[in-house]
């Protein structure tokens, strides 16, 4: 090994500053005291134990899971057809529509959130879990499209033609050939879009009615110092779950890239 | 006659926007023949094949397969099956399930499917490999699986899109032989698209040569080689030396011509070309030319020149001989009989040719 260069030191410092604050979350969740500050008083699992008994929190968690599942399913199914079209066909307005689909990635969340609130109220959808689900679908769509596009990129179009040639109709071809081959991409997309929805705060905050999602609930609890350690414990669990989901998603995405063989070996 | 023609193409045309991919295509394919569509890349041969398969609709014209008009009949209902250039083996299925794909969901019993899969794999010499994964196959095996998967459907016509282009040379030559053998054994009509003239000639009963969307000539390989219908076909198939010639007299079966280097001779009329007028073009295959240090005896025409270039091919040697009055050096090919012939660059040599080897190519395109 050569001695670390200036760039390597910079990179390490960068990563430390980026992730150290995140690591404080699990650290303080085991702290036996309600004040988030060093030194740590002692170690406890009490905060994790208490989580089970909080009905409002469990309710918010279930809401998040339901919204996440729905948004992930909607975004992935729409993304599936969009991605296939973008990879397979040339059509008028393709670039423009791809740009539109990717737009939520760059528009500030607060603008999307406030304009969606206005839109939903004007078309008669009250702030509710339904509104949040629709908003999250919109936010998750670009993730679904880009993941599924990479799944279709390595997909030899003559596979579908071969199925058709062997007597399958359009639907049967999709079910017996297209779907199984892009399945790893679909799983990856479901996992990522679920995580996007599960972690989202701004839109959920604006579009919440009487029921709300977990991030919004946590935000509401942070004002009460006594509840803070509970929140830290919950946050740590969510962090763990998110990382686990993304790792699994990446595993499936790579498998989808490998499983189809194109021209090269 | 028409009953024997398994495929009839009538004035097929395919346009993509303003680009004409295939134009005024008329072709009759006989039942049980091995037919090749040969042409350079981009000549429309694959488009023509895909129209027969049903993947593309002709802009105009009629496709009749086994007496039935294919207008409005999609690919999955046509009595044709296709072997794709990429083979298109389903990566998520093993060999057995790939081959069985087309039989499933059609109310055929599992026992019968198993028997037919085993037979089909036996036929392509992959017997017993049912459970092998699709990603574990070599290029040659993938091709055999693709063949078995198509043939198990018992198509009336098997379409092959550049089936051998992905294989290395040795395997390609072996598969040429096997494909031909399989076709003769099954008696199914094979229609193959290829850009490789040797492949087309070694395998086919008949070849259709395509240029720029047009079907230029359809003939058996020996006829195509001996009587090409124009300069394009002559230069695409094998090698050819071209000479301008002037017609001195026309007879029923022959023409009396003069060429700049070989003088006057009487050559056979080519039935495949239209009467060319006075200024025509003739061609001589390199292997039809005799090359020797002294003026060769017993030839209808001779000329003298200088060796400009020697190309060694192993089984034969090509000499490029510069002759006064001819723009391009004349190529003469000599079989390599233990180096009995050995000329060097700059040597003065004689070329001799029989008038039967001089091919009438019709009107000289370069002068019109």
Return the pLDDT at B1.
43
pLDDT tens digits, one per residue of A218-252: 888 878 777 777 778 888 888 888 888 888 878 87
Q: Measured between CA atoms, how close is A177 to chain B, in angstroms? A: 7
Tell whether B316 lies on the interface with A, counting CB pairs under 8 A.
no
Reported ipTM: the value is: 0.82
Percentage of residues in chain B having pLDDT higher than 90: 49
Return the pLDDT at A263.
32
Return the pLDDT at A166.
92
pLDDT tens digits, one per residue of B131-190: 898 888 988 899 999 999 999 999 999 999 999 888 888 888 888 999 999 999 999 999
In a domain, A208, yes or no: yes
CATH of B5-231, one of 3.40.50.300, 3.40.50.1970, 3.90.1150.200, 3.20.20.70: 3.40.50.300
With respect to CATH, is domain B232-367 assigned 2.40.50.100? yes
In a domain, A24, yes or no: no
Nearest to A162 among B74, B84, B134 (CB): B84
pLDDT tens digits, one per residue of A136-163: 999 999 999 999 998 888 888 899 999 9
Q: Look at A262 and B86 and tell me if their CB atoms are within 8 Å.
A: yes
pTM of the model: 0.79
Domain count, chain A: 1
In a domain, A78, yes or no: yes
In a domain, A161, yes or no: yes
Q: Would you list the domain boundaries of chain B?
A: 5-231, 232-367
Band of pLDDT at residue A2, cut at 50, 70 and 90 = low
Interfacial residues of A (vs B; Cβ cutoff 8 Å): 156, 158-159, 161-169, 172, 176-177, 180-181, 259-263
In a domain, A8, yes or no: no
Band of pLDDT at residue B286, cut at 50, 70 and 90 = very high
Three-class HEC string of chain B: CCCCEEEEEEEEEEEECCEEEEEEEEEEEECCCEEEEECCCCCCHHHHHHHHHCCCCCCEEEEEECCEECCCCCHHHCCEEEECCCCCCCCCCEHHHHHHHHHCCCCCCHHHHHHHHHHHHHHCCCCCCCCCEHHHCCHHHHHHHHHHHHHCCCCCEEEEECCCCCCCHHHHHHHHHHHHHHHHHHCCEEEEEECCHHHHHHHCCEEEEEECCEEEEEECHHHHHHCCCCHHHHHHCCCCEEEEEEEEEECCCEEEEEECCCEEEEEECCCCCCCCCCEEEEEECHHHCEEECCCCCCCCEEEEEEEEEEEECCCEEEEEEECCCCCCCEEEEEECCCCCCCCCCCCEEEEEECHHHEEEEEECCCCC
- Mean pLDDT rounded to a whole number for chain B: 89
Band of pLDDT at residue B276, cut at 50, 70 and 90 = low
Nearest to B92 among A161, A181, A263 (CB): A181
Q: Which domain holds residue A235?
A: 53-258
Q: Look at A167 and B153 and tell me if their CB atoms are within 8 Å.
A: yes
Pick the range with the lowest mean pLDDT from A28-37, A210-219, B102-111, B230-239.
A28-37
Return the pLDDT at A184.
86
CATH of the domain at A142: 1.10.3720.10
Percentage of residues in chain B having pLDDT higher than 70: 97
Pick the range with the lowest mean pLDDT from A31-40, B134-143, B199-208.
A31-40
- Mean pLDDT rounded to a whole number for chain A: 84
Q: Which of B17, B86, B150 should one mutate to test binding to chain A, selecting the residue with the greatest count of A CBs within 10 A?
A: B86
In a domain, A192, yes or no: yes
């Amino acid at each position: 090994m050569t001695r670390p260069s200036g760039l390597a030191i910079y990179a390490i410092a960068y990563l430390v500053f980026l992730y150290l604050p995140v690591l404080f979350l699990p650290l303080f969740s085991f702290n036996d005291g309600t004040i988030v500050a060093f030194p740590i008083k002692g170690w406890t699992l009490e905060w994790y134990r208490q989580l089970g008994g909080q009905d409002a929190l469990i309710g918010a968690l279930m809401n998040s899971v339901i919204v996440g599942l729905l948004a992930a399913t909607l975004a992935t199914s729409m993304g599936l057809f969009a991605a296939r079209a973008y990879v397979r066909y040339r059509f008028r307005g393709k670039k423009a529509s791809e740009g539109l689909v990717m737009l939520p990635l760059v528009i500030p969340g607060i603008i999307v959130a406030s304009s969606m609130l206005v839109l939903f109220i004007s078309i008669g959808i009250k702030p509710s879990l339904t509104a949040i689900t629709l908003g999250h679908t919109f936010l998750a769509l670009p993730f679904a499209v880009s993941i599924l596009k990479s799944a279709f990129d390595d997909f030899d179009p003559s596979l579908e033609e071969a199925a058709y040639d062997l007597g399958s109709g359009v639907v049967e071809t999709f079910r017996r050939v297209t779907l199984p081959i892009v399945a790893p991409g679909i799983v990856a997309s479901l996992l990522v879009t679920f995580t996007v929805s599960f972690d989202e705060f701004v839109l959920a905050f604006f579009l919440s009615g009487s029921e709300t999602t977990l991030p919004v609930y946590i935000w509401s609890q942070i004002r009460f110092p006594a509840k803070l350690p509970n929140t830290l414990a919950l946050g740590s669990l969510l962090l763990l779950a998110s990382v686990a989901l993304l790792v699994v998603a990446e595993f499936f995405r790579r498998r989808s890239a490998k499983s189809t063989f194109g021209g090269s070996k | 006659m028409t009953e024997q023609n398994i495929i009839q193409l009538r004035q097929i045309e395919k346009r993509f926007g303003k680009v004409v991919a295939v134009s005024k295509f008329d072709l009759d394919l006989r039942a049980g023949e091995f037919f090749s569509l040969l042409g350079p890349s981009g000549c429309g041969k694959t488009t023509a094949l895909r129209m027969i398969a049903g993947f593309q609709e002709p802009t105009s014209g009629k496709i009749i397969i086994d007496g039935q008009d294919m207008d409005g009949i999609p690919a999955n209902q046509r009595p044709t099956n296709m072997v794709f250039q990429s083979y298109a083996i389903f990566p998520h299925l093993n060999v057995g399930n790939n081959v069985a794909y087309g039989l499933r969901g059609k109310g055929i019993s599992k026992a019968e499917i198993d028997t037919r899969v085993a037979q089909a794999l036996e036929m392509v010499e992959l017997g017993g490999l049912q459970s092998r994964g699709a990603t574990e196959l070599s290029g040659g095996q993938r091709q055999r699986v693709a063949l078995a998967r198509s043939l198990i459907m018992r198509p009336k016509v098997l379409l092959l899109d550049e089936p051998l282009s992905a294989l290395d040379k040795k395997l390609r030559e072996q598969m040429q032989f096997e494909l031909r053998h399989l076709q003769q054994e099954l008696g199914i009509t094979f229609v193959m698209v290829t850009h490789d003239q040797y492949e087309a000639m070694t395998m086919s009963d008949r070849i259709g040569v395509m240029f720029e969307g047009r079907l230029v000539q359809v003939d058996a390989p020996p006829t195509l080689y001996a009587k090409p219908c124009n300069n394009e076909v002559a230069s695409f198939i094998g090698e050819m030396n071209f000479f301008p010639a002037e017609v001195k007299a026309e007879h029923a079966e022959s023409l009396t011509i003069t060429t700049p280097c070989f003088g006057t001779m009487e050559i056979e009329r080519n039935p495949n070309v239209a009467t060319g007028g006075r200024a025509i073009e003739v061609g001589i295959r390199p292997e039809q030319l005799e090359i020797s240090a002294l003026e060769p005896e017993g030839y209808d025409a001779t000329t003298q020149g200088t060796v400009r270039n020697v190309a060694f091919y192993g089984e034969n040697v090509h000499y490029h001989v510069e002759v006064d009055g001819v723009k391009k050096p004349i190529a003469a090919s000599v079989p390599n009989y233990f180096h009995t012939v050995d000329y060097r660059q700059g040597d003065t040599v004689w070329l001799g040719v029989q008038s039967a080897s001089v091919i009438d190519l019709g009107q000289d395109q370069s002068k019109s």
